[in-house]
Amino acid sequence: MEGKFLVVLVTAPKEKGEEMARRILEKGLAACVNICDIKSFYWWKGKIEENGEDLLIIKTTENVYKRLEEFIREIHPYEMPEIIALEIDRGLDKYLKWVEEETKLASE
């Protein structure tokens, strides 16, 4: 296996999470996207906000990350979307190979 593997976390409005996940997969920018229902509390423009959101948990490779980030920024409705990439230190080799294969075309 070549390169590094990433889990990318992205929050999105509830009505956009599934659409974003499908579009990311259709572009070949991820092998898998999980969506969790969350409640977020955060500072925004001087006050504490509270919203129900979807958390997208995206499995991809470092080779694809830049394109993935650009695409998310294009389709995301937030002014400043949360996009956080975490490097995968360990994982089932067979699973990571699958992630690599599914994102191969987007990394070329």
Encode pLDDT of 80-100 as tens digits. 999 999 999 999 999 999 999
> Two tokens at 97?
């190979």
**Structural domains counted in the chain:** 1
pLDDT in tens, the chain (108 residues): 678 999 999 999 999 999 999 999 999 999 999 999 999 999 999 999 999 999 999 999 999 999 999 999 999 999 999 999 999 999 999 999 999 999 988 766
- For residue 24, the enclosing domain spans 5-107
pTM for the model: 0.94
Q: What residues contact residue 62 under an 8 Å CB cut-off, 6+ apart?
A: 3, 4, 5, 6, 87
Domain CATH number, residue 86: 3.30.70.120
Q: What residues contact residue 21 under an 8 Å CB cut-off, 6+ apart?
A: 33, 35, 56
